[in-house]
Structure 1
Amino acid sequence: MYTAEDYLQGWIAYSIGGLLLLFFLWYLLRNLRYAAVRHIFLLISAAFLFTPVTAYQDDAHLAPAFFVSVYEGVLLSGANDGFQRGLAPIIAVLIFALLIYAVGRLLWAKLFGKKVLSSSDADDSVREVDLVAEQSSNSVK
């Protein structure tokens, strides 16, 4: 039987491994043109790797949900829940993470997004650019 210290060390080792996998995924996707797609892939991976669920129904110890899902769905014959016991929490965490991400992106764009110029401001800035270009071409002649 594992002690509480063994259990904690196991979760620490698993978390470090999961973070290294996320870093590797980020490294693969770092040149992706659309940051939102990269963020969503990372969120899906983090939800898949780090969602916990009880290891056994009568035990309070936690285990990664995808391990429990694979174990009960593939290896146990006659399990009542099968893949659902591990998959349902992953889906729930993923939905909440994507909703929080969408709200965060909207707030970020609202607070720090580019300010849209009115048509009169845009016309003025175009006129200023034309005047500067004309003056520089006249001074070269």
Structure 2
Amino acid sequence: MNGIQAVIAVNEGKSVQYYDHEDDAWLSFDKKTGFRVGCLLGEPNHQGQVAKFRIKPSFILLNGIKVPAPLQEEPTSPINYWWFNPKKPNGIATGKWLDDDEDHAIFNNIGIYLEEDDVVQVRDAYREVLKEPANV
């Protein structure tokens, strides 16, 4: 999500985060967060980095394992996304949101993620659930 989308999301009451490159962490973004307008428009900061924004992820339990929840609202613009696909050797598939029937089917039936790291957690939890129980 870009800075303008982040501001709109905050105005809609959504919890938004920005990526702090210095702390290597996602931090809360709201109307009081100090960003230059240029940074919100995608211009690099004084360190040459472009600001990244996201909706604060929510979590679900997958057989007792806490994992990120899939995106709750369909994207409104072309954006890369990932989803869990157990048929793939690495368990992850990727696509670009084109607002077509395939995108809607994946969104509604599987769930999509805007961060690859999120779907990696889902894949790992799924694989953990499938492990054979230890002999007792």
Where is the strand percentage greater, Structure 1 or Structure 2? 2
Structure with the bigger RCO (C-alpha within 8 Å, sep 6+) is 2
TM-score using structure 1 length: 0.26
Q: Larger Cα Rg: Structure 1 or Structure 2?
A: 1
TM-score using structure 2 length: 0.26
Where is the helix percentage greater, Structure 1 or Structure 2? 1
